[in-house]
Structure 1
Amino acid sequence: IRGGFKVIARSGKSFQEVFILTNLSKVELEKAIAQSIKR
């Protein structure tokens, strides 16, 4: 698979690895994730 991003989310000792396929650029995806975390 090409054109995706691997994201690792951590909480305490737990973590989850997620592969995201999107048309967003890296910067746009980082902004979208940061915005969703603020909620």
Structure 2
Amino acid sequence: EIDGDFDDYRKELLDSLGEAMIHNPSAAAAAATTI
């Protein structure tokens, strides 16, 4: 469930992607291409 407006959702999505990049850059890059 998403609370807040789209900007909040986008920020959380970017934060999650950033954390993924730190832990697994190749997987994060692959995920980014599917968005």
TM-score (norm 1): 0.41
Flag the structure with higher helix content.
2
